[in-house]
C-alpha cells in the first residue's frame, strides 16, 4: 500500500501524532484517512488530538548558525499563549528545533520532520504538548547560505532576520539584518520582483493616474515615477537604511564594497488568522438564553 506524503501530513495535522505513527496507521487502514484516525484513537496515539486543532499564534523565533559563519537557519515555533512562549521547556524545544534544522540541512519543515532528527524532534514536541497543555507546532523554517559573511538579528523573540553578504564585515551584515527585521523588504533588488506582480501594480497605477485628467504622455511619466517608488519600497537596495534614512541600502553597500546575496525574515504568527472574541455578542447571547428559560 502506497501512502502519500500529503495524507501523512493531513493525519499529522489532525491528530498531532508523529510522522511514522501516522504512516503506520495509514498503511494499516489502506490509505483511508478516517479509518487511520480511528485506529490511532483506539491505540491512544492521539493525546494531542484536541490541542492540534487549536490556533497557535504565539511563540518564538530561534536561530542556529554554522561554525564557519556562512549559513544559518531561522525556525518559527508556535504555541497558544505568550506565557508558554517564555517557559523554559518551550524555549529549549525551540532552540533544539533550530539546531536540528541546521544539522539536517533541511530547507522546509516537511524536510526537517522527514529526517531522522525530525522524528526525534516530533516526539519531543508531543511530550511537550502533553506537559504544558497547549498546541505546539514547528511552523516555518528559513535557511540562508552565503559565500561570505552571515549577519543575524533577533528582535526580542518575535522577529528574526538573516543576511548573507559578500564583502563588507560582520557589523555591516548585522546592521542589514536589523534593517530587514525592521522594514521587511520583499526582494533584494528590482530584478527579483516577479513580472506578473510588477505588471499588476503598473495596471493599478495606470488606472489611478488616468482619473487625474492628464495627457497620455504625462500619465506614462507619472506611472513610471510611481513604479520606481514602488520598487524602492519593496526592495532592500531601494529602501532608506534604517539607521541613516538619508542613505539608501544600495549606497551603503556601494560605499562598503559589499553585495547582498540573500536574506530571510520570520515573524511570529505572521499570516495566522486569529480568532477574535466578540465579548459583547457573547454576553447578549447569554442574556437571551437565560430569558428563554
Tell me the pLDDT of the chain (293 aa) as tens digits: 678 888 888 887 777 667 777 888 899 888 888 888 877 766 655 544 445 556 567 999 999 999 999 999 999 999 999 999 999 999 999 999 999 999 999 999 999 988 888 888 998 998 898 888 888 999 999 999 999 999 999 999 999 999 999 999 999 999 999 999 999 999 999 999 999 999 999 998 888 888 887 787 888 889 999 999 999 999 999 999 999 999 999 999 999 999 999 999 999 988 876 555 454 555 555 555 555 55
> Which pLDDT score, from 0 to 100, does residue 50 have?
47
Residue ranges of domains in the chain, CATH in brackets = 5-51 (1.10.8.10), 54-144 (3.30.479.20), 146-185+246-271 (3.30.479.20), 190-245 (1.10.286.20)
Q: Report pTM.
A: 0.74
> Which pLDDT score, from 0 to 100, does residue 131 have?
87
Q: Which residues of 244-264 are buried (b: 16+ CB within 10 A; e: fewer)?
A: eeeebbbebbeeeebbbbebb
Q: Which helix (H) or strand (E) holds 139?
A: strand 137-145
Contact 174, 152 (CB under 8 A): yes
Residue written as grid cell 546592521: 175
CB within 8 A of 170, min separation 6: which ones? 69, 149, 151
Amino acid at each position: 500500500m502506497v501512502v502519500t506524503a500529503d495524507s501523512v501530513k493531513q493525519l499529522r495535522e489532525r491528530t498531532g501524532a508523529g510522522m511514522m505513527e501516522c504512516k503506520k496507521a495509514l498503511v494499516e487502514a489502506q490509505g483511508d484517512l478516517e479509518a487511520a484516525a480511528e485506529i490511532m484513537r483506539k491505540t491512544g496515539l492521539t493525546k494531542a488530538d484536541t490541542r492540534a486543532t487549536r490556533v497557535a499564534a504565539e511563540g518564538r523565533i530561534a536561530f542556529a548558525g554554522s561554525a564557519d559563519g556562512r549559513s544559518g537557519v531561522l525556525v518559527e515555533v508556535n504555541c497558544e499563549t505568550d506565557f508558554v512562549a517564555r517557559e523554559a521547556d518551550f524555549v529549549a524545544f525551540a532552540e533544539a528545533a533550530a539546531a536540528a534544522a541546521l544539522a539536517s540541512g533541511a530547507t522546509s519543515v516537511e524536510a526537517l520532520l522527514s529526517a531522522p532528527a525530525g522524528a526525534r524532534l516530533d516526539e519531543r514536541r508531543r511530550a511537550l504538548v502533553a506537559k504544558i497543555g497547549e498546541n505546539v507546532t514547528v511552523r516555518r523554517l528559513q535557511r540562508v547560505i552565503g559565500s561570505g559573511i552571515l549577519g543575524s538579528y533577533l528582535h526580542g523573540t518575535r522577529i528574526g532576520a538573516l543576511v548573507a553578504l559578500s564583502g563588507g564585515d560582520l557589523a555591516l551584515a548585522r546592521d542589514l539584518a536589523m534593517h530587514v527585521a525592521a522594514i521587511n523588504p520583499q526582494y533584494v533588488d528590482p530584478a527579483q520582483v516577479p513580472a506578473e506582480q510588477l505588471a499588476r501594480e503598473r495596471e493599478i497605477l495606470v488606472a489611478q493616474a488616468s482619473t487625474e485628467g492628464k495627457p497620455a504622455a504625462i500619465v506614462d511619466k507619472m506611472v513610471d515615477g510611481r513604479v520606481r517608488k514602488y520598487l524602492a519600497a519593496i526592495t532592500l537596495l531601494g529602501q532608506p537604511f534604517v539607521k541613516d534614512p538619508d542613505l539608501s541600502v544600495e549606497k551603503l553597500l556601494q560605499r562598503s564594497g559589499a553585495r547582498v546575496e540573500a536574506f530571510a525574515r520570520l515573524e511570529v504568527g505572521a499570516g495566522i488568522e486569529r480568532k477574535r472574541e466578540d465579548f459583547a455578542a457573547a454576553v447578549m447571547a447569554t442574556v437571551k438564553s437565560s430569558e428563554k428559560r
